[in-house]
Amino acid sequence: MSLIERDKEVVWHPFTQHKTAGDHLEIVKASGVLLFDADGKEYIDANSSWWVNVHGHAHPHIGKAISDQFNTVDHVVFAGVTHSKAVEIAERIVEKSPDNLKKVFFSDNGSTAVEVGLKVAFQYFHNQDKPRKKVVALNGAYHGDTFGAMSVGQRGYFNAPFESFFFDVDYLDFPTSENREAILSHARELFSSKEVAVFIVEPLVQGAAGMRMYSPEILDELTAIAHEFGSLVIFDEVMTGFGRTGKLFAMDHCKNKPDIVALSKGLTAGVMAMGLTVASQEIYDAFLSEEKTKAFLHGHSFTANPISCAVACASLDIFEEKETIENIASLVNWGTEFIDELKTLHNVRNTRQSGTIVAFELETGEGDTYFSDIRERAYDYFLEQGILLRPLGNTLFVNPPYSISKVEYTKIKEAILSFLQSI
């Protein structure tokens, strides 16, 4: 039996309707920005393998960190025990974060990093005997697929079967240049109730909603209103973190800082699974008590897995290299040039860029929908051209590893331009 046949026998893939899905692509090797299939065909990893890969695949510094750590401490329980790589990554993340963020909690992925953030926020108020039950989020949000994370995300076909189990959330409209006043007044109305525990956002770019972008200025204003009425603010930097917006974090573009930040994806260079939730000292202090039940009673088997922590440290080493900083700057410039070309085309709408991410809508006459047929056509076309690029509905976006060369970026750009000519 071929691998594809064996896969069909036993594997249940994410976000996949198996009745109608075609064969999965068998990838046998990954190196730099390239993926290789079983026939030896190569593909540029144009969306960084679900937005996680930042330095390219099989980076030797990451590989060495994995093997060194495996031979030092591979895994150990993290309650009652610590180890050097957990402390090192926590120190380095705190050092790179805004001054108010001081404590790092470890979990396994982006959803759990958000879930921990929400639980910490609710318990912060609970521990002080002033429980707040409301949450405010943005329309179009995606924060992950666990229950808390789904509850604060956009309601719709992705989570409809579970909706009756979600907690109540009030949604603000997605900020645009036209609706500033209306959003600010809606926010003031919601937060002034002083019942809102937490305001959660994907700062500057909503990923799964189609790389929708908004300004740091409006986010600063919303954060300020939430803080004015004593609500906590969570920035979900799972997608935006680690260079995507051109700076290390999206919050680096903002004046007003969050109380809690969720990190994952690029944290471990897209190689190991880990999530971090970084909280302010004030929040941490609200869990200190003689009463054991005021502790944060949450943990995972693989909390602070030493190999994941070592990879996160190695990834930060690479971020600190001059070459990476220059690569990110070049990618931002190539993106801007690409946007200029896209703007001249009639079947392209709403071109936008945040740092290394370039996105636009294909004008299909069908409106914007995740299930647009054009998605399949585009996906197949790019595969044919040797590019793995997963559109979100009729939104095409490019967010490759930062180590991509100009030649490889140009190949993606030319394939997109030729696809646009073909439709």
CA neighbours closer than 13 Å in the CB half-sphere of residue 406? 6
Q: Which of 115, 236, 259, 408 forms a contact with ligand PLP (CB under 6 A)?
A: 236
Q: Which residues of 369-387 are buried (b: 16+ CB within 10 A; e: fewer)?
A: ebebebbebbeebbeebbb
| Nearest distance from C-beta of residue 114 to ligand PLP, angstroms | 5
Q: Which is nearer to ligand PLP, 240 or 324 (CB)?
A: 240
| Nearer CB in complex with ligand PLP: 207/335 | 207
Which residue, judged by CB position, is nearest to ligand PLP in the bound state?
110
Cα 80 to chain centroid, rounded:
30
Question: Is residue 144 a contact residue for ligand PLP (CB under 6 A)?
Answer: yes
Of 48, 49, 107, 109, the one binding ligand PLP (CB under 6 A) is 109
Instruction: Please tell me the distance from the alpha carbon of residue 373 to that of residue 386, in angstroms, as a whole number.
Output: 21
CA 402 – CA 330 distance, rounded (Å): 9
Q: Amino acid identity, residue 276?
A: L
Amino acid at residue number 163: E
Applying CB under 6 A, what is the total number of residues that bind ligand PLP?
14
Q: Single out the segment in contact with ligand PLP by CB under 6 A; choices: 74-82, 136-144, 326-334, 368-376.
A: 136-144
Q: For ligand PLP, which is the closer residue by CB, 202 or 408? A: 202
Kindly calculate the radius of gyration of the chain based on its CA atoms and give it in whole angstroms: 22
Please list every residue from 200 through 229 that binds ligand PLP, using CB under 6 A: 202, 207-208
Our finding on whether 233 is near ligand PLP (CB under 6 A) is no
Query: Quick check: 390 and 370 in contact, CB under 8 A?
Result: no
Judged by CB under 6 A, the residue of 89, 114, 234, 251 near ligand PLP is: 114
Region of 192-200, 231-239, 243-251, 297-305 interacting with ligand PLP (CB under 6 A)? 231-239
Residues 314 and 326: their CA atoms lie apart, in Å, by 18
Among 32, 56, 98, 110, binds ligand PLP (CB under 6 A): 110
Closest to 252 measured CA to CA, from 197, 297, 203, 209: 203
239 is an interface residue for ligand PLP by CB under 6 A? yes
Backbone CA torsion sign across 118, 289, 104, 255: positive
- Site residues (CB under 6 A) for ligand PLP? 109-111, 114, 142-144, 202, 207-208, 236, 238-239, 264
